[in-house]
Chains A and B, each alone.
Chain A
Amino acid sequence: AQSVTQLGSHVSVSEGALVLLRCNYSSSVPPYLFWYVQYPNQGLQLLLKYTSAATLVKGINGFEAEFKKSETSFHLTKPSAHMSDAAEYFCAVSSMDSNYQLIWGAGTKLIIKP
């Protein structure tokens, strides 16, 4: 069965520092991978999506993620954190394994220190 693991329920970084949010997945077939962001009291917004076209995926707000098949990872990065990046981030995977249902990680709350 597919699963998604997000390491760290909370990640704290200083403003201007590198953001790294980790996501590992399990899938026996090629997956689609997603990162969504949820700002306080709002719905989930798609940040970026991997569909096998390119291993480095660029998303909105300066975020990007790299698909590494050998490590079954899809970590989310941003070179320089802004206060406005404070939110909860969710990684999700879908494939034929899950009948293309999204399997969600537990989420990582990103805290930005001034």
Chain B
Amino acid sequence: DSGVTQTPKHLITATGQRVTLRCSPRSGDLSVYWYQQSLDQGLQFLIQYYNGEERAKGNILERFSAQQFPDLHSELNLSSLELGDSALYFCASSSSPPGGTQYFGPGTRLLVL
């Protein structure tokens, strides 16, 4: 158990809908990272927050957004969902960079029908 929790574990929704994925980092970790893992594109970094502020952006679509709240939990919002958004979404957390090890949550499996 990494100490990172993600809810929900599974999510099934329809195209065009909007969903919110939630992540609670390990106690004391200030950084939260979001990743998307799909069969065709592998593991893709989406976005990083550090102590409530956006720190880095990766391959995140404009339809996707995230935020980190004062209690350090984070939410990833996916809107206007398309079939191709079906994937595993991981959250990871780390203590202060640089070189901080990222600890991953169990992931949310999103299926868009």
Q: Give the total of A residues in contact with B, Cβ under 8 Å.
A: 20
Select one of B4, B48, B105 contacting A101, CB under 8 A.
Answer: B48
Which stretch in B14-22, B68-76, B96-104 binds the other chain? B96-104
Is there contact, CB below 8 Å, between B43 and A100?
A: no
Is there contact, CB below 8 Å, between A43 and B107?
A: yes
Q: Chain B interface secondary structure, helix, strand, loop or mixed?
A: loop
Q: How far is the CB of B40 from chain A (nearest CB, A)?
A: 12
Is there contact, CB below 8 Å, between B106 and A43?
A: yes
Q: Report which residue of B42, B99, B106 has the largest number of chain A beta carbons within 10 angstroms of its beta carbon.
A: B99
Is there contact, CB below 8 Å, between B2 and A45?
A: yes
Interface residues of A (CB under 8 A from B): 32, 34, 36, 42-46, 49, 51, 90, 94, 96, 99-102, 104, 106-107
Instruction: Give me 23 A-to-B residue pairs in the complex whose CB atoms sit less than 8 angstroms apart, sorted by A's number.
Output: A32-B98, A32-B99, A36-B104, A42-B106, A42-B107, A43-B4, A43-B106, A43-B107, A45-B2, A45-B104, A46-B101, A46-B102, A46-B103, A51-B99, A100-B97, A101-B45, A101-B48, A102-B33, A104-B42, A104-B43, A106-B42, A107-B42, A107-B43
